[in-house]
Structure 1
Amino acid sequence: MPDATGEGTSMTAPNLPSDALSDFAELMAQEQDLTGRRDRIDPEKRRARRRRGLIVTAVCLILLLAACGGYVWWALTATVAPPEVTTQTPQAPSVEAAAITAAPGAASAISISGADAYLGEGASGIWSSSGAGDPRPIASITKLITALVILDAVPLASADDPGPTITFTEADHDLYDRYYVQGATIAPMPTGTSMSLHDALAAMLIPSASNYAEALSSRIFGSQDAFLSATRTWLSAHGLTGTTITEPTGISPRNTSTPTDLLTIGKLAAAQPTIAQIVATSSISLPGAGQLHNTNGLLGTAGITGLKTGTLGQGTYSLLYTATLHVGAAEPLAVTGVLLGGASRESVNTTVIATLDSIRAGFHEVPLASSGQEVGAISTPWGSTAQLVIDEDASIFTWSDTPIEVSMQIETPATYRDGSVVGSVTWTAGPNTVTTPVTIQGQIDQPSEWWRLTHPSELSR
């Protein structure tokens, strides 16, 4: 509409709908311009607007700081994965088998009491043997059987019991000459002299006097036939079916036995107090008989405590023996052994000593581990490491190549500090078991704050 001058201020409405957006923007600009002019005119409104902006900015900053602080708190307090522990059970050492010495061409057998836990359940029977097991001449070992049969008929109350008195007659004295001619071992037996049964048995067993063997057996049983009958009964009662006795001295090669039977005879003799005492005596002086020396030259050597030698000549040297071996076990070993048919007395003695030495050497301390030996490792994602080590030296007492079993147990500790005990290693061989602690060598430190903040994927969510 025209004003007073004739010119009008026109606001032309858009003719087309496409001009609506442009017109709206123009209107908004005009409104903002108008508002700005008002603000410039009204300072109070300007200050309110500024406050609103500051509040919004502050809220945003608080929210941002809260988010960052929450992450930091979580990262610094979150649980980390426990250290990784790897272990390697130490290997059991291998040990060579003990070699038991045997005499070539001879027959031998060994029984050991008190070592079944080490040597096996058969140790007290025939634990080791060599050569044929058929009967062989036993020579003067016969006298042990004669003594056992006599004491079965006339028991003595103890090892020191003298027993009945034996008075020797002229017939007894004549035995001295008869066995002398045969080349047998003899001891003086003057007519009319008296001797206790205990001492007469000593004269028979220590120097192996054949005249005493016949004189005593005839005196106790009345005749040799009666003695031999009692002997057969005694052998049968003890299951000694492999043994044949035809006379009391062993001078006859028809007196034979097997290694198996002789081990039983040896144990019976060792268990008889009177005989055990006598055969352990290296020499004795007896009235009428004089000074007598034991034919067993090994007494006191290599632990040997008895029993009886036997010799019929070249290639027939024998020894039935007992020995006590201190090998380091809780109790000493009681050995009963026999060797039949050795080439000479020296070879028999050498072989027996070597046999006992080989048994003794077969018992040994086997080293298992040394202090500081590594058996595992500890590692963490943040690079802290330590080792698992055996805390002390370990060894085990065993026999020969007895298998050694080993096991290891490791527990999770509360803290992974240097010296902390975290488990043990156990070795077992036969009846013996040894256990040693496993400790931490080094220390696992906690992860640093920086590592926590920069490794969120390693933290528990």
Structure 2
Amino acid sequence: MSSFRPGRLVGILAGTVVILGLGIYGPATLLGPLPAVTVTTVTPAASADAPTPPVLSANGASAIAVLAATTSDTSGTTSTGADSPRAGSTTSAPIAVAGTAEALPMASIAKVVTALVVLDAKPIVAGGTGPIVTLTAADFQSYLNYDTVGARSVAVFADEQWTELELLQALLLGSSNNHADSVARWAFGSVDAYVIAANTWLADNGLTDTVVVDTTGLHDASAGTATDLAHLAGLAATDPIVSAMLSSPASALANRRGVENTTSFLPEEGVTGISRSYTDAAGVCFLFTAQVSDGVSSFTFSGAFIGEPTYDALTADLTALMASARAGVGLLPVLAAGDSYATFTSAWGDTAAAVVGVARTRYAWQAATPAAATVTLKDFSTARTGANVGQVRLTVAGEKLSAALKLDEGIGDPGLGWRLLHPIVMITALLDQ
């Protein structure tokens, strides 16, 4: 006859708890995952060089935008560009803008739109001249009309034959108003049809605050913002036909007709003019690109000045801009090797930092202090020295840059002793997974 013995029951229960406890404790501490490291984000020390913003005009409106930068860094020679021909519906933010944000009359900058829209509809292969165009009585009458009122014109006669390239050279280099109308009529059938196509082209290229109502810009309603027109300069400068035309301007056109280059202005400052003009409503307007170089790296930007009161004012403002460019452009250690963006601490006391492994430098204009970097980090418990533990991203002068973050010191396994002595931490890590 058995009898109930409480002591034995307690012993059985205690033994069961011990066995179950050891069954969980052992695997959890010896085989379970380690707790992830604790992360603290940090900000590297700022560069000692203060930003040097562009000096823009106090007159009318002005803007500049990155066109291209070429530099050599530890990862090799890199070239970047913010604008490209037919760039689509988006454009990069300008480096700087000054004056009114409203659209202003743009004078002969409208002829740059005419040239690009015609080239879009009637492209010329690189090195070619395009088709031959036979001029009409309407083209001759257009020349007479502009010449009579003293507007810029280049002589033509009915039945003359000009190549498309010659028509565009007279339009851009000579700022010929009659050639603007002639090439638009040839390409689109009429000036009215051209105007519709041109405004569609402007919208397609993201220049939504600019509109044209004629081919020449003599009409005050052909107007644009400085931001749009700075990007227009980039589109013109990167078009192979226009850029070739500007780099090797013609002095004679069809039938040895002479043409005066109206675009050149302050080339000794590193400036390449695209359009330079004046009307009573628009004032002096200038579309251009400019370059700063140290002999190894170069930085090119596009720009627009509209509404300058005089050519003397344009000279002073453009000279001041280029002085600020030479002061502000340089090789920037955007993401310096060894810069720390996070620190890690393990539960067992090991510490390490996430640092930039390979430097990213850019020959750029330090116009403003860069925005804070975005850091993405991986979860880990242990990792060797040099392991990739994340990435840092930031935007400089409109360009998005990134670099891998490496572990400057390894974080190793704490060993069996630490695991056995920290059951709560280990079991928590197991439950977290």
TM-score (norm 1): 0.55
Q: Within the alignment, does 1:342 sit opposite 2:308 as a pair?
A: yes
Deviations along 1:430-460, whole A, 9 cap, x unmatched?
99xxxxxxxxxxxxxxxxxxxxxxxxxxxxx
Contact 2:53 2:368 in 1 (8 A): no
Query: How far does the alpha carbon of each residue in 1:182-234 deviate from its partner, in whole angstroms, 9 at most, with x for none?
Result: 33110011222211101110011001000000011011111112111211221
**Match for residue 286 of structure 2?**
319
Residue 254 (str. 1) matches residue 221 (str. 2):
yes
Contact map agreement 2:188 2:194 (CA 8 A) in 1: yes
2:65 to 103, 111, 127: 111
Corresponding position of 1:457: none
Corresponding residue for residue 136 of structure 1: 104
Once the two structures are TM-superposed, the CA of residue 100 in structure 1 deviates from its matched residue by 2.7
Helix, strand or coil for the counterpart of 1:308?
strand
User: What is the 5 A alignment of 1:189-200?
Assistant: 189-200=156-167
Identity level (%): 28
CA distance in 1, matches of 2:329, 2:166: 40
Letter matched to residue 142 of structure 1: A
Q: Distance in 2 between matches of 1:248 and 1:271?
A: 21
User: SS at 1:322's partner residue?
Assistant: strand
Residue 292 of structure 1 aligns to a residue in which SS?
Answer: coil
| Alignment deviations for residues 319-358 of structure 1 (CA, whole Å, 9 cap, x no partner) | 1111222146x53111101111001122213311320221
Determine the structure 2 residue equivalent to 1:332: 298
Number of the residue aligned with 1:355: 321
Work out which of the residue numbers 210, 228, 247 in structure 2 matches 1:280: 247
Counterpart CA distance in 2 for 1:401 and 1:178 is 47
Q: Secondary structure at 2:321's aligned position in 1?
A: helix
Structure 1 unmatched runs, 5+: 1-90, 367-396, 404-429, 432-461
Is this contact kept in 1: 2:273–2:286, CA < 8 A? no
* 1:213–1:157 Cα change, 3 Å: same
- Which amino acid in structure 2 is aligned with residue 145 of structure 1? V
> Counterparts of 1:110 and 1:122 in 2: how far apart (Å)?
12
> How far does the alpha carbon of each residue in 1:292-340 deviate from its partner, in whole angstroms, 9 at most, with x for none?
1221231633112231123113761111111222146x53111101111
Deviation at 1:143, TM superposition (A): 0.5
Change (3 A) 1:274 1:146: same
Q: Distance in 2 between matches of 1:202 and 1:236?
A: 25
In structure 2, the residue matched to 1:241 is 208
Pick closer, same or farther for the CA change 1:299–1:198 going to 2, 3 Å.
farther
| Corresponding pairs, count | 284
RMSD over aligned Cα, in angstroms? 3.3
- The one-letter amino acid paired with 2:109 is I
Pick closer, same or farther for the CA change 1:324–1:286 going to 2, 3 Å.
same
Letter aligned with residue 104 of structure 1: A
Partners of 1:318 and 1:241 in 2: CA distance = 20
2: CA distance, partners of 1:195 / 1:398: 43
Q: Is the Cα contact below 8 Å between 2:104 and 2:282 reproduced in 1? A: no
SS at match of 2:269: coil
Shift of 1:146: 0.5
Question: What is the alpha-carbon distance in structure 2 between the residues aligned to residue 250 and residue 208 of structure 1?
Answer: 11
Equivalent pair of 2:129/2:166 in contact (CA under 8 Å):
yes
2:190 to 215, 220, 223: 223
Distance 1:257 1:201 in 2: 22
- Deviation at residue 364 of structure 1 after TM alignment: 5.9
Does the 8 Å contact 1:309/1:318 carry over to 2? yes
Q: Give, in whole Å, the separation in 1 of the partners of 2:103 and 2:364.
A: 35
Aligned to 2:358: none
Distance 1:103 1:289, change over 3 A: farther
**398 and 92 in structure 1: CA distance in 2 versus 1, 3 angstrom threshold:** farther
Q: Which moved more, 1:122-131 or 1:205-214?
A: 122-131
Q: Is residue 282–residue 299 contact of structure 1 (8 Å, CA) maintained in 2?
A: no
Q: Is the 8 A contact 1:246 1:255 kept in 2?
A: yes
How many angstroms does 1:401 deviate by?
Answer: 9.0
Question: Does 1:266 find its partner at 2:233?
Answer: yes
Which among 136, 149, 161 is matched to residue 169 of structure 1? 136
CA–CA distance in structure 2, aligned partners of residues 272 and 399 of structure 1:
24
SS at match of 2:251: strand
Could you tell me which residue of structure 2 aligns to residue 42 of structure 1? none
User: Larger Rg: 1 or 2?
Assistant: 1
**Letter of the 1:139 counterpart:** A
Report Cα offsets for 1:353-390 as digits up to 9, x if no partner. Answer: 32022111224699xxxxxxxxxxxxxxxxxxxxxxxx
Tell me which amino acid in the other structure corresponds to 2:60.
A
Q: Check if 1:291 corresponds to 2:254.
A: no
Q: Is residue 2:120 matched to residue 1:152?
A: yes
Q: Is 1:206 aligned to 2:173, yes or no?
A: yes
- Give the letter aligned to residue 111 of structure 1: A
- Kept after mapping to 2: 8 A contact 1:207/1:293: yes
Q: Secondary structure at the match of 1:339?
A: strand
Task: Name the CA shift for 1:105/1:300 in 2 (closer, same or farther; >3 Å).
Answer: closer
Structure number with higher relative contact order (C-alpha < 8 Å, ≥ 6 residues apart): 2
